[in-house]
Structure 1
Amino acid sequence: MPIDNLSVIEEKILGNYRVLGKDDQDAIRRLTTTIAELSAPEKLP
């Protein structure tokens, strides 16, 4: 799926990501989700 307006670096990273195996892609997805959750401000009740 083509994505418009990417920088050269972003295109290279996306290309490298796409050639990874599904297990590696899933691990990266879990890691980035965890980092985002830990970096987000605490939610008030």
Structure 2
Amino acid sequence: MRGLKRVRSAQTVSSGHAFVQNIRRGHDELGVELEPQLRVSAAFAELTLAV
């Protein structure tokens, strides 16, 4: 693995990881109504529509 060369890259990876963990745990509104097994895939499907 080559590692992260810039601080900005590390911040992006860290923020993305925290976001996914919050969705998995049900702390984000994107995954509150769903079963735990479906939260991440549904949240990414909704994010795809937003982008």
Q: TM-score, structure 1 length as denominator?
A: 0.48
Q: TM-score, structure 2 length as denominator?
A: 0.43
- The higher radius of gyration belongs to 1
